Chains A and B, each alone.
Chain A
Amino acid sequence: MGIADIIILALVAAGVIAVILRARKKGACADCAQGCSCDHAKHGAGACPALKGVDRVADELGCGVR
């Protein structure tokens, strides 16, 4: 295996590890369009910027009775 191989393999491995770490850190936010800059552990449904859109949609779609 030449030098090019090792470099490429190292890059790929680094990439995979980065993805895994990112997924662990962001949890459900990993796919979030906003790139969820909030700390996943801290925020509830209220702080998530993606959910802001949902609130707006839910708001726009009406207000329900309990």
Chain B
Amino acid sequence: MAASQLHVALAGNPNCGKTTLFNLLTGQNGYVGNWPGVTVEKKEARLSSDASVIVTDLPGIYSLSPYSPEEVVSRDYLMSGEPDVVIQLLDATNLERNLYLALQVVECGLPVVVALNMADLVEKNGDKIDTDALSKRLGAPVVMISALRNTGIDELIAAAKRAAAAKHAVPEHKFDSAIEDVLDKIEKLLPASVPASKRRYYAVKLFERDEAATKLINPTKEAAAAIEQIIAQCEADCDDDAESIIAGERYAVIAHIMDACVKKAPSKMSVSEKIDRVVTNRILGLPIFVLIMWAVYSIATSADAFGTAGTDWVNDCLFGDGFELFGMAFPSIPGAIEGMLAAAGASELVTSLVLDGIVAGVGAVLGFIPQMFVLFVLLSFLEDCGYLARVAFVMDRVFRRFGLSGKSFIPMLVATGCGVPGVLATKTIENEKDRRMTVMTTTFIPCGAKLPVIALLMGALVGDGEAGWISPLFYFLGVIAVIVSGVMLKKTKLFAGRPTPFVMELPAYHFPSLRSWWLHIWERVSAYIKKAFTIIFASTVVVWFLMNFGVYEGAFGFLPEITGGLEEFTSYSILAMIGTAIGWVFIPLGFSSWETTAMSISGLVAKENLVGIASTILAVGDDTGLSPELWQAFGGLFPTAGAIAAFGAFNLLCAPCFAAMGTIRAQMNSAKWTAIAIGYECGFAWIVGLMINQFYLLAQGVFSVWTVVAIVIAALMLFQIFRPMPHWAWDDDRAEVKAPAGAAA
């Protein structure tokens, strides 16, 4: 190791601006990988102001217990001898809990510098923190910083360098004298090989009966027995177990520190609490959530709102008939291109490719941008202000009844934007079964790309009328699909198990900064635009080709030519052949034409394709998108409204786009489970489509063998949903929560 290099460890609770601080110190250019042997992320980078200093960001933890890999990795690193100094981050708005970790870090015997974050926020509340007293009690210099405002960072770095150079290990805090005696005795029994600065750390760990530490120390048999006796005696005296005793001692020290250093303002209920009283209210919480999501989707797609007006303008004018600006008439984009192509002398084939294929397809997709924009304005706001955290809290109970954990809901909230990060977000679920199930069901939630599909379906079902309420319906179709799937699957052997514990803290509400709000929105909208010009573009070209080339009377060629201008030339195309070959699968769902089949297949590449390809297929040259013609033409492909609804349900629920499927594969890490996931999604979608179509037909008085099938399946599903949880489902975890009568081990 180069003599001039300095190693700094950054420790702190999760959720306390540690990541922000790390980024401020190092500039986001570091190495990100895993700690060896575990799936815990390791972040390391050089200080952007001084390349000879390496900062290692430890995982966010509450304590240095031996129980979770994050904690083990952190304490192993602190004791490894590599770090020269530790920056301990304290969140001033959560001082007590942060101090709990700080005390343990201090015990490690390394030089420590405390970074007190958000002290300015605390003073706004009326509380005052005496940093000198704090510094004295902890035995470490305290530097006030604000990670959000980027202040104090330079002093922090300077203090860290000074502390590292002085190599002065922090004097320890003292527990109750009785406990100190016990710890002293244990310290004496440690092997001489343990360095002086670390003896205290190990004495405490051994007292807690920390297995990992004990293994490391490897005391002699006699020493181990003596230590055990000391501990047992102490436990008897205090009528408590060792872990609990130490925790209690730490909190006692913290109480002293808080008394000496913090002057609290009289407490009054914060605004956050007032809001929460209503929003997570026992009775009102769920209906409020339903109402809010309803409003979000309605506003984004309703006929009178900005979003739809914008979309209509784009479709009818920009891509339609042209528009007037400042008294000058502008042609529409297709019109302009048509003109250019004609002037260049392009042939019919190429003109058709460009106009009916590319422009129609991409134009239709781009046409929905105004609505997407509105949707994401609303969703990003909800996400940034902190409301969605409450939703996870509210949904947790609903989920818990069905054996799921609220943790599973978080990826779904992310998936309302795009399914790919939604599936990636499942990595926070440690329980493997739960994680798999969440991966499988997360993409049921309509992502941003599905919005155009929903709008198209809406149009087909109700024409120009008031249909703002249909799109929320499709959103909730997704949510219900998730819950129903969860309920059914949890009762099967593959997924059964106790729901994962979910203990979470709720961040305070805050009005999102305009910058981050805009960033969110722009992220999604720009991704959508990029997709339109790349994947959708390529898809329309391919589909156009498949639609315009085929076999007519034994000859293969460009159909409009070789059929001599036949109106229905597309029915001879390659696409028609493919579609017809597969289309029989959809007969019971009410739509089996090659056009609808081709649309569904194209949806696998990207869900927006359903709209883009629809537009191309219908060869609606001049008017694209939401104009009545596309609705009408699209609706004309289906025999009944029920079939339209079934088509919608099928495509919204079935396997997601290739990108999301790839992510599923990455998360599942197993071909078998990926197949199960995709298979389940498609199967479920097919069944839902079937039931919708058949029950619609039934209501119209049409009865067939498929009606029977639909009824039987519905009955089976209801059974699986409502049957009591099989007794073996939670048996394997039953040992964990012992009956209260037994004493703690």
Q: Which residues of A contact B (CB under 8 A)?
A: 1-2, 4-5, 8-9, 12, 15-16, 19-20, 22-23, 27-28, 30-35, 43-48, 50-51, 53-66
Could you tell me the dominant secondary structure of chain B's interface residues?
A: helix
Some 29 contacts from A to B, beta carbons below 8 A apart, are: A2-B344, A4-B346, A5-B347, A8-B341, A12-B353, A15-B541, A16-B541, A19-B537, A23-B534, A23-B535, A23-B658, A28-B663, A31-B527, A31-B530, A45-B424, A53-B520, A57-B410, A57-B425, A61-B413, A62-B389, A62-B392, A62-B507, A63-B504, A63-B505, A64-B430, A64-B502, A65-B500, A65-B501, A65-B502
Q: For B345, list chain A residues within 8 Å (CB).
A: 2, 4
Q: How far is the CA of A19 from the CA of B413 in the complex (A)?
A: 30
8 shortest A-B CB distances, which residue pairs?
A62-B504, A33-B523, A4-B344, A46-B32, A33-B527, A19-B538, A65-B501, A65-B503
B49 interfacial contact with A, CB 8 Å: no
Contacts A61-B392, A63-B505; A15 near B527 (Cβ below 8 A): no
Number of CB contacts from chain A to chain B under 8 A: 157
Asked if B350 and A8 make an inter-chain contact with CB atoms under 8 angstroms apart, the answer reads yes
Using A22-B534, A28-B659, A54-B425 as known contacts, say yes or no to A2 and B15 having CB atoms under 8 A apart: no
| Complex contact B414–A54 (CB within 8 A) | yes
Q: Are B421 and A61 in contact (CB under 8 A)?
A: no
CB contact under 8 A between A46 and B424, given known A19-B534, A32-B527, A61-B410: no
- Does B560 touch A at the CB level, under 8 Å? no
Q: Which residues of B contact A (CB under 8 A)?
A: 14-15, 19, 32-34, 41, 43, 60, 67-68, 341, 344-347, 349-350, 353-354, 358, 383, 386, 388-389, 392, 405, 407, 410, 413-414, 418, 420-421, 424-425, 427-430, 500-507, 520, 522-524, 526-527, 530-531, 534-535, 537-538, 541-542, 606, 657-660, 662-663, 666
Please name all residues of chain B whose beta carbon is closer than 8 Å to the beta carbon of A2 when the two chains form the complex: 344-347
Residues of chain A with a CB closer than 8 A to B67's CB: 66
Chain B residue numbers with a CB within 8 Å of A56 are 19
How far is B43's CA from A28's CA once the two chains are assembled, in angstroms? Answer: 23
Alpha-carbon separation in the docked complex, A54 to B660 (Å): 15
**B504, B520, B537: which contacts A15 (Cβ < 8 A)?**
B537
The docked-state distance in angstroms from the alpha carbon of A28 to that of B41 is: 21
Contact B14 A60, beta carbon cutoff 8 Å: no
User: In the complex, which residues of chain B have a beta carbon less than 8 angstroms from the beta carbon of A53?
Assistant: 421, 520, 523
Nearest chain-B residue to A43 (Cβ)? Answer: B32
- Given A27-B659, A33-B524, A51-B424, 10 more A-B residue pairs with CB atoms under 8 Å apart are A19-B534, A28-B660, A31-B606, A33-B523, A44-B32, A54-B424, A60-B507, A62-B15, A63-B15, A64-B428
- Residues in A whose Cβ lies below 8 Å from that of B410: 57-58, 61
- The listed residue (B68, B531, B534, B666) touching A28 by CB distance below 8 A is B666
